[in-house]
Chains A and B, each alone.
Chain A
Amino acid sequence: MMNTAADKIKVDPRDAKLSMAHFFVAFAALAIGGLMGLLQTLVRSGKFELPAGIGYYQLLTVHGVMMGLILTTFFIMGFQYAAVSRTAGTHSNAARRTGWVGFWLMTLGTAMAATMVLLNKASVLYTFYAPLQAHWIFYLGLTFVVVGSWVDGASQIMTYVKWRKNNPGKPSPLLSFMAVINTVLWIVATLGVASTVLFQLLPWSLGWVKTVDVLVSRTLFWYFGHPLVYFWLLPAYMCWYAIIPKIIGGKIFSDSLARLSFIMFLLFSIPVGFHHQLTEPGIDPAWKFIQVILTFMVVIPSLMTAFSLFATFERYGRSKGAKGLFGWFKVLPWNDARFTVPFIGMASFIPAGAGGIVNASNQMDQVVHNTIWVTGHFHLTAATSVVLTFFGISYWLVPHLTGRKLTKSMNKLAIIQGWVWFIGMVFMSGAMHIQGLLGGPRRSAFSTYGDSAQAAQWIPYQIAQAVGGTILFLGIILVLIIFINLTFFAPKGDEEFPVGEAEKSEAAAPMVFENWKLWLGITAVLILFAYTIPFIDIIQNAPPGSKGFKTW
């Protein structure tokens, strides 16, 4: 293929430095969180005990915080910062400074929270449900992570606004548009968790107030908790929609439909938190069902995404002369890690999404709620679809930013990494799904539950999880080897930052997609519709508050 001038655009080295700073924290979190994950699966197999009085739930807290909050947030902010710089132009000095301030706030917050977890003052897991009461420094640290991410995200928005001002009447570059949608989604969503932490948990852990309203806190948490998973997913969608087509040498199926699906994710990922609270006693069943319906609206953009991606693949395959119904599948570039690793993630999203439909289906949730099925579910969505795509991105983005090349041998190792991950996850997530259907609980250390016959059935699946967990840990070691190689040791050179283009025949995206007043307005209306009445109910019918407990 001919290289055009656009293919040679590089992210400015000053922007690259900030992105790489994010990735150092993200991959350090992966290393620590991964080791904790390995130890957890070993403990729960019943064959291994933790030395030196280390608590299982302390490890679990580290794993959840590192993987769910730190790895994801830092990677996403670093990737989006680079994507905006690449497609909307180098960040201004002011935007870059804003980005650095955000980065350091997040890093400081991470260090504060991590210290408290290591001192065993905050073994409350990454969901920190009141009335479990952690040390106030843990809550303050999390606040810094969230506020830091707002400041960090503001740098992307500043550069987007500048581009719009310089290019009136034109639709913004697709990747920048997508990055800004995800940043806006994140800001709206984190208002919930920031509210409960700042107004409820911090004053309560400092002893300024005696009690906390548990259901208000949980409801605010889950207002944030579901869009959180879309905040993880949308950067993966950015890669699938707008980067993979370029990697395989095809075209984006439809630029406009890609934008439309991102807007639908913004609208329908927030007013849906009750589907995480379906088995809770204090919420009206009618409102639970209304939020279940809103939850399922994301099926529509998901169907659009699936169609677009496979349409791109098929068109590319047929342009290469592939014949028959599925002949195009064979000609895809399977020996290119930049394609194969995210593709494994993409394919995993099919069973992952199907499992999610079960979880969100109102009364069907009772079969699986808080069983290890749920853990199996999000290890397919977040820990396979999302992170394999993130790894796939880093395999070209890291050398692009460090001025190096993804060598043949590293490419090969990266493909091996993707398949190792897949095999490990088949064992671990598969066993978790089955054990969950048999009733095995999530977030639990090894137990025979008083020699219960039911619990005895779970143990073989726990051993399978340890096998899977061990394979996955090998996968993490491979990721880290590749990351370190691409950062410090790979030969100098120019690695492309692939940016897909739409088919020539496609008209420019309608400008209504860039009308933020409209989309933020609808987002607000949907949130107010879904939450106002039940929230007033929850507050008006509140029981006496709870004092704090430290049960670990």
Chain B
Amino acid sequence: MHIHKFEKIWLIFGISCLVIFLSVVGVSAFYLGNKPPSCLTTINPEKVDQTKPFNKPGLHKVEGKEWDYELVYVAQAFSYNPAQVEVPLGAKVKVIATTKDVIHGFEVAGTNINMMLEPGYVSEYTTTFDKAGEYLIVCNEYCGSGHHLMFSKIEVVEK
């Protein structure tokens, strides 16, 4: 099988770009810690309200951890609890969320917080809120007739 000289050059160039690209993505994910959310913790979806930390949804100050606050959400068709929360500017926050019924999305528009909430699993993502303002949390996975009415808000405020 014959491969034209130009095609060889084209493929070598393309494959080299691919290797560089995947290396950058890999180093960013595993060395710099930018992995996509993969919490791997499970929960009984019918006992969410009785299970820590989901028995107390909302923002909690924590001590002795790598993050300053834990922000706990419980999702169910078609709402998030809490529906509104204030976060201090510059706070490092671990968002912890799960769902009581079907699959929901958890996307904080305009940030990198974007994770699936699946019954039986806990989803987590740690981030720093370094811009003041109102952020919209939207459900971005179809969950039923009120899917587009399912949202919550984060107010990042200077304190």
Number of A-B contacts (CB under 8 A): 234
A371 and B119 contact, CB distance less than 8 A: no
Give the residue name and chain of the A residue nearest to B18 (CB).
A299
Asked if B22 lies at the interface with its beta carbon under 8 angstroms from chain A, I say: yes
CA distance A465 to B123 in the complex (A): 32
* Interface residues in A91-135 (C-beta closer than 8 Å to B): 123, 125, 129, 131-132
B22 and A296 contact, CB distance less than 8 A: yes
Tell which of B55-63, B67-75, B86-94, B134-142 binds the partner.
Answer: B134-142
In the bound complex, residues from chain B placing their C-beta under 8 Å from that of A440 are: 109
B1 and A257 contact, CB distance less than 8 A: yes
A452 and B136 contact, CB distance less than 8 A: yes
A363 and B36 in contact (CB under 8 A), knowing A254-B2, A453-B134?
A: yes
Asked if B82 lies at the interface with its beta carbon under 8 angstroms from chain A, I say: no
CA distance A131 to B1 in the complex (A): 51
In the bound complex, residues from chain A placing their C-beta under 8 Å from that of B147 are: 57, 443-445
In the bound complex, residues from chain A placing their C-beta under 8 Å from that of B151 are: 447, 449-450, 452
- Residue in B39, B105, B119, B149 with the greatest tally of chain A CB atoms within 10 Å: B119
B145 and A281 contact, CB distance less than 8 A: no
B139 and A441 contact, CB distance less than 8 A: yes
Q: Mark A332-364, 1 if CB is under 8 A from B, else 0.
A: 000000000000000000000000000001111
Tell which of A34-42, A67-75, A282-290, A423-431 binds the partner.
Answer: A282-290
A214 and B109 contact, CB distance less than 8 A: no
Asked if A2 lies at the interface with its beta carbon under 8 angstroms from chain B, I say: no
Q: Mark B98-134, 1 if CB is under 8 A from A, else 0.
A: 0001110101011011111111111110000000001
Partner of A361, one of B25, B37, B101, B153: B25
State how many residues of chain A have any CB contact under 8 Å with chain B: 76
In the bound complex, residues from chain B placing their C-beta under 8 Å from that of A125 are: 142
Give the residue name and chain of the A residue nearest to B33 (CB).
A363
B136 and A279 contact, CB distance less than 8 A: no
Partner of B101, one of A60, A131, A307: A131
Q: Mark A439-469, 1 if CB is under 8 A from B, else 0.
A: 1111111110110111100000000000000
A549 and B102 contact, CB distance less than 8 A: yes
CA distance A292 to B18 in the complex (A): 12
CA distance A368 to B43 in the complex (A): 27
Partner of A303, one of B10, B78, B112: B10
A543 and B4 in contact (CB under 8 A), knowing A283-B38, A288-B36, A454-B135?
A: no
Asked if A551 lies at the interface with its beta carbon under 8 angstroms from chain B, I say: yes
In the bound complex, residues from chain A placing their C-beta under 8 Å from that of B123 are: 281
Asked if A319 lies at the interface with its beta carbon under 8 angstroms from chain B, I say: no
B14 and A542 contact, CB distance less than 8 A: no
A285 and B29 in contact (CB under 8 A), knowing A307-B7, A439-B109, A549-B101?
A: yes
Asked if A383 lies at the interface with its beta carbon under 8 angstroms from chain B, I say: no
A439 and B110 contact, CB distance less than 8 A: yes
Chain A residues proximal to chain B, CB less than 8 Å: 55-57, 60, 123, 125, 129, 131-132, 214-215, 218, 254, 256-257, 260, 277-285, 288-289, 292-293, 296, 299-300, 303-304, 307-308, 311, 361-367, 369-371, 438-447, 449-450, 452-455, 506-507, 509-510, 541-546, 549, 551-552
A-B contact pairs, 8 of them (CB 8 A): A257-B7, A279-B36, A280-B121, A296-B22, A307-B11, A369-B114, A443-B140, A542-B42
Taking A56-B148, A132-B144, A307-B7 as known contacts, 8 extra A-B pairs with beta carbons closer than 8 A to each other, sorted by chain A number, are A214-B118, A281-B40, A281-B121, A299-B14, A438-B110, A455-B136, A549-B101, A551-B102
